[in-house]
Amino acid sequence: MYLALKHTHVTAAVLSICFFIIRAWWSVSGSALLQKKFVRIAPHVIDTVLLACGLGMAGMLGAAAAAPWLYTKIVLLVAYIIVGTYAIKRGRTPQTRAIAAVIAVLIFMYIVGVALYRSPASWFI
């Protein structure tokens, strides 16, 4: 069961970042595609699956899940969400949205490193 959750989690993470990059590009370029119903709903579905699988795996790990790397992922996830809203919606200019998108992708990459190495140091170990 854990392996199925992990594979679903990783798949949702890949879909999430790919879709985020596409939406960020559309946001910066002012594309009307960003307003399509599917584009507004799909990220919530993907991210719900991503979070549910992550919580399921953390529950299966039990006390081991209370490791510093997991707390780091949670804090970085909140940062990613906040910066991501500036990349897609809240950024007032295309330049601001582009900078926020780059920062959000960097945060996401750091989260991936934390997950792979199970260390708050991420790629820097």
Q: Evaluate if residue 63 carries a pLDDT over 90.
A: no
Residue 95: phi and psi, rounded to 5, are -65, -45
Residue 6 CA from chain centroid, whole number: 15
Q: Which spans in 37-67 are helix H?
A: 37-61
Residue 58 has what pLDDT? 87
Question: What is the pLDDT, as a whole number, of residue 62?
Answer: 80
59 pLDDT higher than 70: yes
Q: Indicate the number of domains in the chain.
A: 1
pLDDT surpassing 90 at residue 42: yes
Instruction: List the one residue out of 117, 17, 105, 10 whose CA is nearest residue 53.
Output: 10
pTM of the model: 0.91
**pLDDT above 80 (res 66):** no
Range of the domain at 118: 2-124
Query: Among residues of the chain, what percentage have pLDDT more than 90?
Result: 85
Tokens for 118?
């199970």
3-class DSSP state for residue 119?
A: coil
Mean pLDDT of 34-62: 93
What's the average model confidence in pLDDT over 63-87? 90
Instruction: Please check whether residue 60 is in contact with residue 1, taking contact to mean a CB–CB distance below 8 angstroms.
Output: yes
